[in-house]
Every structure is written in C-alpha cells, then in structure tokens.
Amino acid sequence: MTLPSELLRLADIVIDSLDCDSQYLTEDFLHKLHEILPDTLILAALDLIDQRKVTESTTPWGFVEYEVMGSNATRNVYIALPKTLVSSYCTCPAFNYAVLETGQSLMCKHVLAVRLAVRLNMCVKQEISLDYLTTSVTQHYS
Ligand SMILES: [Zn+2]
C-alpha cells in the first residue's frame, strides 16, 4: 500500500492555510485546492457544508466529535490525528477503500467537508449534555 504522503501533506498545508475568519473561499484558495484534489470531491464537500450537514459536538469534558450526515448514513470523522499515515479518518466505505486500501484518493468528501467547515467556522455546533450521554449509554447496553 502506498499513500501519496507528500501530496497529503501539501493538502494539509493548503487546508490549514485557510483563513479562519472568512466565511467564504477565495479564488486563490480554490485554485490551490483544485491542484491537489478532484473537482467532484471539492464540490461534494462544499455541498455538505452548504446544507449544514457537518456537526461539531462537544462533550462536557471538552472532547470534540465531528459528524457528517450523508444520504444514507451519518459518518464520524476524526481530524488532526497525531502523526499517522493519514491525518484524518472517516468511517465511510469510500475512505476505507479509496484512501486506505488503494490510495486512489487523499481523503473522502466527509473529511474534506469537516476540515473546511472547521476552518470556515461553519459547523453546526451542539453540546452533548451528561443526560444525553447517560440515556444513550443506557439504551446501548440495556
Ligand atoms: Zn467519508
């Protein structure tokens, strides 16, 4: 398995260079992104952000989780992972196949959507209350 690690690092740099305060993408930024990632992926990710499908949940102890609502399922996305082969991870089949197994893609649309939404401050934010956690854990194990 070979991952285009140089390209991935470049993608990380480009995405991280996005100005946090601006709620729009500049031509320059999109141009740089186009050089690394396919149009279809960028458009799909922007579409998810536009439709407010990216959720940032914070637990009472400050743990942050990202979820993306897809057409059939909600995907969990993990970003800013410590030094591993990939800096982000998604639970969707596309990520598993195209990124991890074959190395065809650098990331899936969910990962790109979360990373851009975080930079643009466009995640739907919610706080997970202790009550909610207790209920979901109880339901899970009963
Ligand atoms: Zn995904």
Distance 108 CA to ligand 1 centre (A): 5
Domain that holds residue 127: 5-141
End-to-end Cα distance, the chain: 41
CA 60 to chain CA mean position, Å:
22
The predicted pLDDT at position 136 comes to 78
Q: Could you tell me if 56 and 64 are in contact, meaning their C-beta atoms sit under 8 angstroms apart? A: yes
User: Ligand 1 centre and the CA of 78: distance in Å?
Assistant: 10
Whether the CB-CB separation of 54 and 60 falls below 8 Å is answered with: no
Per-residue pLDDT tens listing for the chain (142 residues): 445 678 888 888 888 888 766 667 888 889 999 999 999 999 999 999 999 999 999 988 888 999 999 888 999 999 988 766 778 999 999 999 999 999 889 999 999 999 999 999 999 999 988 888 788 778 877 6
Q: How far is the CA of 46 from the centre of ligand 1 (A)?
A: 14
Of all helices (H) and strands (E), which one includes residue 103? none
Give the pLDDT of residue 97. Answer: 95
CA gap 59, 128 in Å, rounded: 5
Q: How many domains does the chain have?
A: 1
Distance between Cα 127 and ligand 1 center (Å): 23
- Provide the pLDDT for residue 1: 42
